[in-house]
Chains A and B, each alone.
Chain A
Amino acid sequence: MKNFTVLDLIDLDLKDHNSLNLKCVAGRKGLQRIITDPEINRPGLTLSGFFNEFAYHRIQLFGRGEIAYLNMLEANDTMSAVEKMFSYQLSCCIFSQSVTPSKKLLQIAENAGCAVLQTDLTSSEFTIRLMRALNDIFAPKKVIHAVLVEVFGIGVLITGGSGVGKSETALELIERGHRLIADDSVVLKSVNGSFLMGSGRNEMLGHHMEIRGLGIINVSNLFGVGSIRDKKQVQLLIELEIWNSDANYDRLGTGDITKEILDVQIPLIKLPVKAGRNIPILIEVAAMNERLKKLGYHSAQEFDDNVLKWLESKNARSLYSNKNDIF
C-alpha cells in the first residue's frame, strides 16, 4: 500500500454520514506525516504527565474534556507536559466540535511540525466515522483481473482467462437490466476479514468497458445511471473457462465449492463456455439460486432429499405388494 499521509486523510472523498469534515488549522508541515496505525488515542493521561505506553503514533483526538484540561494547564502556566507530548513524532492532533485550540498550543504544534486538525463533529461520532474510514483504508486489498456485476442483488465476480468473454458476458447482463461495478480490474477489500467488498480502481475512469471490435464504451451514458454501482459485496464467483470435453463438470450442484480470497470463502461456480450456452442467462440463474440458498432453500439438496423420500416410500409399499412375501 502507498503511504497514507495526514493530507490524504483530509482529502478523503467521503460523503454524507461518512464525511469527516476535517480542516487544518496549524502545522501544515505535518500534513506529510504518515499515518501508520489505524487507531485513535485520547491523550488525557499524557496531558497529566504520564508518558508510559504513550501511543504517540496514533491519531490524537482532543474532546471537550481534554480541551478543558488544556485550558486549565495554560491558565496555571504548566505546559511542560504538552511540550513533551509534541516532542514525540505524533501523526496528527484532531480537535472535535470545532474547538480552536489556544494560540500557545498552536505555536507549540507549529514548532514541532505536527498538523492540528479540526472537525465540527462530536468526539464519539468522529471516532466512529474515522474508525470506519481507516478500517477501509488499512483493509487487506487485492486487484484482480475480472468483472464485477450485480445480478438480482447478488454481487457476481466473473473471472477467466484473457479473451474468454468476461466483458461481453457482463455487457449482456447490463443490457438485461443488471448493474456494472467494475470491468477489467476489480479492487477487492476484506472488510473485517468477514466479507469481500469489490469496487473499481479509478472513480474518474470507472464504468467504462473495453469490448473487442467496439472499443471503449461508457456504460452509464449508454444504459443510464441505473446500470452502474460504485461498490458491492462479492457473494458469488463465476469462473469462465473454454469447454473441455475431458473435464468433469458439476452435474448436480450438491457439492458446494468455495474459493478463498483474502481469507474469505466465496461460493465458486465453474462455467464452461461453448457455442450454444448462453452464459449471461446461466449467471442469472446461478445468482437466483444463490439467493434461494441464502433463504434456506437449496435446489439440488431438496431434489436429492425428495428422491430419497420417494425411494423410501416405494420400499415401504413394495412390502405389501410383493405377493411372494409371507406375512
Chain B
Amino acid sequence: MKQETVTIKNRAGIHARPAALIVRTASEFESEIFIELDDMKINAKSIMGIITLGANYKSILQISAEGEDEEDAVSAIAKLFENRFEED
C-alpha cells in the first residue's frame, strides 16, 4: 500500500469542481484509492464522498492506494493538491 499526506492549499477547499477533478483522476487507475480526514475514510472514486468530507483550507488529508498502479495513483492525486486544483 502506498500512502501520502497532503495539505489543501487553495482557499476554497474541496468543493464540487476539485472533487470532480479528483474523481476523474482516481477513476483512471485500477487501484482502490482512499482519502482520509480525521476519522473519515472515503473512496476517492465517489464524488459525494469527497464533498461531504468537508475539507477546507489547510486541512491535512491522507491519500492511500492499494493495487498494481498504486504509486502512480497516489502521486497523480497528490499533484492535484500541489497544483491547488488550478485555483488560487
On A, residues with C-beta under 8 Å from B are 1-2, 143, 145, 162, 183-185, 201-202, 205, 208-210, 216
User: Does B48 interact with chain A (Cβ within 8 Å)?
Assistant: yes
User: Does B84 interact with chain A (Cβ within 8 Å)?
Assistant: no
A74 to chain B minimum Cβ distance, whole angstroms, is 44
Beta-carbon contact of B49 and A205 below 8 Å: no
B12 to chain A minimum Cβ distance, whole angstroms, is 16
The residues of A that contact B49 with a CB separation of less than 8 Å are 145, 184-185
User: Does B39 interact with chain A (Cβ within 8 Å)?
Assistant: yes
Give complex CA distance A184, B42 in Å.
9
User: Does B67 interact with chain A (Cβ within 8 Å)?
Assistant: no
Asked whether A210 and B47 contact (CB < 8 A) given A185-B52, A201-B52, the answer is: yes
Give complex CA distance A1, B39 in Å.
6
Asked whether A2 and B51 contact (CB < 8 A) given A145-B43, A162-B43, the answer is: no
The residues of B that contact A185 with a CB separation of less than 8 Å are 42, 46, 48-49, 52
Q: Provide a sorted-by-A list of 29 A–B residue pairs whose CB atoms are within 8 angstroms.
A: A1-B39, A2-B38, A143-B40, A143-B42, A145-B42, A145-B43, A145-B46, A145-B49, A162-B43, A162-B46, A183-B48, A184-B46, A184-B49, A185-B42, A185-B46, A185-B48, A185-B49, A185-B52, A201-B40, A201-B52, A202-B52, A205-B51, A205-B52, A208-B48, A210-B47, A210-B48, A216-B16, A216-B47, A216-B48
User: Does B9 interact with chain A (Cβ within 8 Å)?
Assistant: no
9 extra interchain contacts, Cβ-Cβ under 8 A, other than A185-B49, A201-B52, A216-B48? A1-B39, A2-B38, A143-B42, A145-B43, A162-B43, A185-B42, A185-B52, A201-B40, A210-B47
The 6 nearest A-B residue pairs measured at CB = A184-B48, A202-B52, A210-B47, A185-B49, A210-B48, A201-B52
On B, residues with C-beta under 8 Å from A are 16, 38-43, 45-49, 51-52, 54
Complex: chain A residue closest to B41, CB-CB: A143
The residues of B that contact A1 with a CB separation of less than 8 Å are 39
The residues of A that contact B43 with a CB separation of less than 8 Å are 145, 162
Beta-carbon contact of A202 and B54 below 8 Å: yes
Give complex CA distance A132, B16 in Å.
36
Complex: chain A residue closest to B26, CB-CB: A162
Give complex CA distance A208, B45 in Å.
16
B47 to chain A minimum Cβ distance, whole angstroms, is 5
The residues of B that contact A210 with a CB separation of less than 8 Å are 46-48
B82 to chain A minimum Cβ distance, whole angstroms, is 25
The residues of B that contact A143 with a CB separation of less than 8 Å are 40-42
B45 to chain A minimum Cβ distance, whole angstroms, is 5
The residues of B that contact A209 with a CB separation of less than 8 Å are 48
A149 to chain B minimum Cβ distance, whole angstroms, is 15
Give complex CA distance A152, B39 in Å.
33
Beta-carbon contact of B45 and A162 below 8 Å: yes
Give complex CA distance A205, B48 in Å.
9
The residues of B that contact A145 with a CB separation of less than 8 Å are 42-43, 46, 49
A165 to chain B minimum Cβ distance, whole angstroms, is 14
Complex: chain B residue closest to A202, CB-CB: B52
Complex: chain B residue closest to A209, CB-CB: B48
Give complex CA distance A201, B49 in Å.
9
The residues of A that contact B47 with a CB separation of less than 8 Å are 210, 216
Give complex CA distance A201, B55 in Å.
14
Complex: chain B residue closest to A167, CB-CB: B48
